[in-house]
Amino acid sequence: MEVVLDWKSIGSLLATLMFLRSALQDLLPPELRLFLGFLFGRLVAAVHPTATIIIDEYDGSSPNELYDAAQSYLGSRCLAASPTVRLCKAHHTPHPVASLPTSHTAVDSFQGVPFRWTSHAVKRSSAASNFFFPYGHHHSTSAAEHRSLELSFHRRHRHAVHAFYIPHILDEADRLRLKARERRLYTNRAALEDDHHRLWSSVPFAHPSTFDTLAIDPALKDDLHADLLSFAARRDHYVRVGRTWKRGYLLHGPPGTGKTSLVAAIANLLEFDVYDLELTAVTSNSHLRRLLVSTTPKSIVVVEDIDCSLDLSDRKKKKTPKPGHENKPDQPAAAVVHSHGVTAYGRGTVSPSGVLNFVDGLWSSCVGERLMIFTTNHPERLDPALLRPGRMDRSIHLSYCGPAAFRVLASNYLDVADGHELMPEVEALLQEVKITPAEVAEVFMGCEGDGADAAMWKVVEELRRRKADGGGMPMVAVPSRRRRGRAE
């Protein structure tokens, strides 16, 4: 039998439904209505098991960090699989970065769970753009569109998404961002009257030193390499034991033994920025604290020749100057040493306690993952308080060139293997003669273009001469790094 609905029939049906709805609300108790609603929700979930999370580009007028992180994450995952991607390369970044274009979809899998990402964009009305971006930023393409990412997955994985997948996206995006960024070498500016000036100036960091090219003892090199990687991977351990995620190294040894090259190799290994702190430009302990808190995580704070920059000798051995032995008026104002170890620079003072608090005080915990490296040619001049564990976790001695270090130098500069005919004599002489890796490198540089054999002979001649002179006479007197203005 054919059923024909006219407007009268539709009106009667709607009236009946409204009557039944009112009757159910009046007759059924609230508990039963809630139970029926729960059953209806489960029925809908069984028919449509997909859950969706919407990630907008902006939260009101503030950028949504999760949106940028998801775009970075998807760019690294979908570049090879998706038919269409958007590429963008920022200035000074080494590689282009991919992202998901508008109205496109990418698939992902995490811990065996499939996910579907879709990019959406809706044109804003001019009124909406003026509301969210009242200062003219809506002229850009991103501001003229309301962009979002839609994440779809099965409902039963909702907990895994919030507890594991989204934190994984944020961590992976941080790693990608750090890898793609241009690393910088910072140096502190002199203090000015205006407290709002930039505390650091920077240049691109492009030092070529790596652990493969370091001319130091192989056992020490392997130990340091493992220690650094362990430090970088132990954030959770530092949090669990209640310690600041930082590590301190004291590099000491004669000039020219590779302290600066080691710092550069560490920065290249961990992909950290480098902050070269010049204490002679710091006017007070508070200025020193401001410099510390303005550094970024994943960085190395380096103080070279700490014994030359500040009087950090053993405070227990300090004595009040005798009458007539005070600093004379003609002493340079850039480094006036007072009693109790306070050193004045310009208009202010930096005290040893200020430096110690800089290394491991409360302010040192405000930055995050960081290495602090001090270098010195004379560790015996330093206060033991600076060297205790927690401030300087490791004391690393870099000594004169040994056979293993020489082989690395010969390979780097001359492409000479262990089998060179002069190598046994060189190694025998190095057991008796003191020569730094920097001096060996200088010999090799001076023989550029003459061939490997000529360079090896030149080193043998220099070692023989030093042996005849007593084993320790340098080729050229090496002045202090601070006087020359470059690192040893």
183: left (phi over 0), alpha (psi -120 to 50) or beta: beta
Q: Residue 64, class by beta-carbon neighbours within 10 Å (0-12 exposed, 13-18 middle, 19+ buried)?
A: middle
pTM of the model as a whole: 0.65
pLDDT of residue 308: 76
The secondary structure of residue 366, as a DSSP letter, is S
Contact 186, 201 (CB under 8 A): yes
Question: pLDDT tens digits for 38-83?
Answer: 676 666 556 567 889 999 988 877 788 899 899 888 887 765 666 7
pLDDT of residue 381: 84
pLDDT of residue 329: 42
pLDDT of residue 245: 85
> Dihedral, CA atoms, 27, 33, 37, 43, nearest 10 degrees?
-70
pLDDT of residue 58: 87
pLDDT of residue 162: 93
pLDDT of residue 262: 96
pLDDT of residue 138: 42
Q: Are strands 370-376 and 246-252 parallel, antiparallel or unpaired?
A: parallel
Domain extents in the chain: 50-180, 185-317+352-397, 403-484
Question: What is residue 117's three-state secondary structure?
Answer: strand
Contact 473, 433 (CB under 8 A): no
| Architecture, CATH, for domain 185-317+352-397 | 3-Layer(aba) Sandwich (3.40)
Question: What is residue 113's three-state secondary structure?
Answer: strand
**What are the φ/ψ torsions at residue 340 (nearest 5 degrees)?**
65, 15
Tokens found for residue 359: 């290394």
Question: What interhelical angle do 437-446 and 403-414 show, nearest 10?
Answer: 30
pLDDT beneath 70: ranges in the chain: 1-8, 24, 38, 40-48, 78-82, 90-94, 124-144, 191-197, 309-349, 361-367, 471-488
Q: How many residues does the chain have?
A: 488
Please report the beta strands in 262-347, taking only residues with DSSP state E, as ranges in sequence order.
273-276, 299-303, 336-337, 343-345
pLDDT of residue 370: 87
